[in-house]
Structure 1
């Protein structure tokens, strides 16, 4: 597989290629490197600060903490962006995180925006109830809100998508992965959780992340593997380019499971690629 090389804009991983960065020394290196990355990015852009979408989960919480460590709480703001009643628990958790971190935030209800969008789409004769398309639209509306605030306050949009989600395609094109800087992009979810513990993210947020990962519709459950083993499989397949048989033997997992993970990554590779462009000869 060929997704191992990080973007030139991603901070270097503080880990050996043979293992995930979960040991104290490696996590401490991440704690030093990632805030510097955020600070340098803002300096190069001449931006006043960052704005982050808060959802009460571990990724956005860690991203916010890193930004605070980098540039101070006054230069970090949050948006809480519920779109329906099912988002209410996440919205309340996000507001609790903002209060805990002393981050200024705004809560914007996207339901009216989505309802108006569905009316416009329906009037044009297009399906207005396609669940997948609406989920993608919701994430893109969130991205639009973040960039509007960023544009009007001279800030950058701070992302919280990790490497696990990106490799599995658990992102929306031009949605939750549409950001200016992504400090967690090189880190697997297991590493983000280790970093969260190191920066004293409360256990209720870590527990909430674990419960979400255990849902029947979550990626680990779909793939038939626990989240930690999933990251080990991805790391071996992608970063170390090991063949599935060797990965299965080393991690003592079923070869079919490793093949499912590999196929999933290949199927969603289009989400990690820039737009296709033609080759022209002038």
Structure 2
């Protein structure tokens, strides 16, 4: 990958889109992970205004530390960057008092995890509305179009997606060129939706290199039967997520009314 040219291309795309949309800049949620670090740096490089928002909800200390380190570094490098911290923990806890928490614990935990992401989306759009900004998405190609590893109308609810055509490995390559803090470059990817340090791999059961490989194999017309051992297992994991999360990746189905019924 021609890293510098890709960076320039994305920065120009972001700036052109914002200018044509007649908006003032971008707002982005900072998690302490590589995707939000790279995306926010690309937005900052446009020279347009950028608001980085930290939105902890019972967040693991390591995530908070990395997010704050990145924001501090970004503000030191770019005069157009501002930041805000919105502690959503009280909001989340109040929400839990108004809904039923009965049922299968794993199902409840997942529903609450997705609620965290949707509270953050609401917060980002609140600030975007106030300031006339666009909400920049942080999803990469594997998450957005491979396994659908994001929350529908949560972190999937954005105005534009600068890195959604980049594989996770390519995001890291760009992160290195953009001088993203080493602590973020080395940290295990995590969605941070459970209030602990569990990684994406812990949840999915496969690493991003394995998922990238499986994604490429599917594009090449391969099937799990073409492989054995761990490769077959990883391929099946990829296909299971890809299939079950199609509802996120495909357009919302619309019931079309026949003309003779109108």
Task: Output the TM-score relative to the length of structure 2.
Answer: 0.84
- Which one of the candidate residues 219, 242, 252 is aligned to 2:221? 242
Q: Which residue of 1 aligns with 2:50?
A: 76
Task: Tell me by how many angstroms 1:88 deviates.
Answer: 3.5
Note the residue ranges of structure 2 that are not aligned, 5 or more in a row. 76-80
Q: Which residue of 2 aligns with 1:207?
A: 186
* Alignment CA distance shift 1:38-1:89 (3 Å): same
Could you list the per-position Cα deviations for residues 122-144 of structure 1 after superposition, in whole angstroms to 9, with x for gaps in the alignment?
4xxx6497211111111101000
Note if 1:32 corresponds to 2:8: yes
Q: Which residue of 1 aligns with 2:78?
A: none
The aligned runs of 1:1-282 (5 Å cut-off) are: 23=1, 25=2, 27-72=3-48, 75-84=49-58, 86-102=59-75, 103-122=81-100, 127=102, 130-166=108-144, 167-209=146-188, 212=190, 218-221=199-202, 225-237=206-218, 240-244=219-223, 248=227, 254-282=231-259
Contact 1:223/1:257, CA 8 A, preserved across alignment: no
Contact 1:161/1:177, CA 8 A, preserved across alignment: yes
Contact 2:206/2:237, CA 8 A, preserved across alignment: no
CA distance in 2, matches of 1:224, 1:132: 16
Task: Tell me by how many angstroms 1:221 deviates.
Answer: 4.9
* Alignment CA distance shift 1:48-1:136 (3 Å): same
Task: Tell me by how many angstroms 1:180 deviates.
Answer: 0.5
SS class of match (1:262): helix
Alignment RMSD: 2.5
Could you list the per-position Cα deviations for residues 215-237 of structure 1 after superposition, in whole angstroms to 9, with x for gaps in the alignment?
99545456654432321221332
* Alignment CA distance shift 1:165-1:281 (3 Å): same
Contact 1:247/1:258, CA 8 A, preserved across alignment: no
Task: Tell me by how many angstroms 1:274 deviates.
Answer: 2.3
Task: Output the TM-score relative to the length of structure 1.
Answer: 0.79
Note the residue ranges of structure 1 that are not aligned, 5 or more in a row. 1-22
Contact 2:52/2:71, CA 8 A, preserved across alignment: yes
